[in-house]
Amino acid sequence: MSEALRSHPRTALADRAAEADRADPLARVRDRFDLDDGVTYLDGNSLGALPRAVPDRVAHVIRHEWGRLRIRSWTESGWWTAPERVGDRIGPIVGAAPGQIVVGDSTSVNVFRALVSAVRLAQQDGPGRAEIVVDATTFPTDGYIAGSAARMTGCRLRSASPDDLAGVLGPATAAVLVNHVDYRTGRLWDLPEITGMVHAAGARVVWDLSHSAGALPVGLDEHGVDLAVGCTYKYLNGGPGAPSYVYVRADLLSRLDQPLPGWCSHAEPFAMESDYRAATGISRARAGTPEILSLLALDAALDVWDGVEIAAVRDKSLALTGFFVDCVTALLPSGRVTCATPTGERRGSQVSLRCAGAAGVMRRLIDRGVVGDFREPDILRFGFAPLYTRFADALHAAEVLAEVLAS
Ligand SMILES: Cc1ncc(COP(=O)(O)O)c(C=O)c1O
Ligand SMILES: Nc1c(O)cccc1C(=O)C[C@H](N)C(=O)O
């Protein structure tokens, strides 16, 4: 933390925030969300804010589509094909052409589906593939599920930091599961490079995009990713428990042998055949009846992306997180926090500060209307959802944090 920054007067930071908010090309998008000005919400990386279009859309689905049309809605309201249709709306946000993303089930279930599918693909490719490698710092659900997927497929489970993959990958590797952005530190892993390394070892890669989709460009097609999953309640604002999605690269679809082949993934679900025949296309990654209410809430939430380019979102995200770090540097009592998030391009859209007594500090911040979250063991986590967070919010959060630490 440089002395030059530490000596910035508060007014200079306020001027910077005001100028950045004035010049922000995404400023108008904030109006698409239902936000209260008394709260500085920096937890959109855990639960995204409510888009204004959602309540009326959900009310219409309940009152009209369910209430009046009832079962006719499966066809007349497009319920049956909503998982693929909403998947295609997520496509441009993560760089996937249509027909490769389907929405349904939780992220945990899709991690299982994608990882077992990846192992089976690798084993179809050739013999000797008997290891799953999982990101050592992964969000716990991915690690737990990788353990079970390994037992089920007869693989060994290895855990490695994405930094150390070069020393771990080899002819025995079947599949590698990596989080694009680390939920705790906010570190962004190099998706093109890691995907290339996994492919060079003859294995398949599964990316968990939960903390990157909607915050930065992912480029799934461009970088030749095999499979990916992600949740939709963070930067995609789908709401609590909104269904997750799975991406399967188009050229792999005809070989996809997923472990949950329910009737909705059958070639002809309503033929009700006793033998399984997989659907062609991404419908093959479905399982059972879609979660229509939450799926259509997500559909409405995705309207906030109209006219928004993900590159502009990334530019604002980097500017916001960089500005917050500058504010923290200038305003906080010296030595009270250290930044666990890498600088610049190597970060996602959050800033994590290590701080003694972090749990209590976060409780006091929330009492004062600055909502971030605490993650074990000592992390204050602040998420900057670029569609609705202002530079003034970043400054205010740092000011309140400075007051809390001084008190
Ligand atoms: C990287 C990652 N994967 C998965 C999940 C969650 O999975 P699920 O939606 O099944 O709770 C989270 C957070 O909730 C996460 O951060
Ligand atoms: N997914 C969550 C949930 O359903 C309830 C409460 C919190 C969460 C989370 O944000 C967990 C998470 N993915 C994290 O980044 O810490």
Distances (CA, A) of 361 to 352, 377, 385: 13, 13, 22
The catalytic residue among 113, 184, 234, 390 is 234
Does residue 148 belong to any structural domain of this protein?
A: yes
| pLDDT at 37 (0 to 100) | 84
User: Residues 27-45: pLDDT tens digits?
Assistant: 999 999 999 989 999 999 9
User: Residues 242-263: pLDDT tens digits?
Assistant: 999 999 999 999 999 999 999 9
Q: Is 275 a catalytic residue?
A: no
Q: What is the ipTM of this complex?
A: 0.96
Judge if 296 and 387 occupy the same domain.
no
- Could you list the residue range(s) of the whole structural domain that residue 124 is in? 55-305
- The tally of domains found in the chain comes to 2
| pLDDT at 373 (0 to 100) | 95
Q: Is the previous residue joined to 171 through a cis bond, with omega within 30 degrees of 0? A: no
Nearest CA to ligand 1 atom 6: 107
What atom of ligand 2 comes closest to residue 373's alpha carbon? 16
Q: Give residue 34 CA to ligand 2 midpoint distance, Å.
A: 21
CATH number of the domain that residue 391 is part of: 3.90.1150.10
| pLDDT at 370 (0 to 100) | 98
Q: Is 142 annotated as a binding residue?
A: yes
> Would residue 395 be called left, alpha or beta, if left means φ above 0 and alpha means ψ between -120 and 50 degrees?
alpha
| pLDDT at 334 (0 to 100) | 87
Does residue 39 belong to any structural domain of this protein?
A: no
- pLDDT beneath 70: ranges in the chain: 1-9
Nearest CA to ligand 2 atom 11: 46
Judge if 300 and 312 occupy the same domain.
no
Last residue of a domain, one of 305, 328, 351: 305
Judge if 224 and 137 occupy the same domain.
yes
Tokens 């991915």 sit on residue: 142
Does residue 335 belong to any structural domain of this protein?
A: yes
The catalytic residue among 33, 41, 183, 233 is 233
Question: What is the Cα gyration radius of the chain?
Answer: 22
What atom of ligand 2 comes closest to residue 233's alpha carbon? 1
Q: Is 208 a catalytic residue?
A: yes
> Could you tell me what percent of the chain has a pLDDT over 70?
98
139 lines ligand 2 (CB under 6 A): yes
Judge if 275 and 396 occupy the same domain.
no
Strand partners, 229: 208, 246
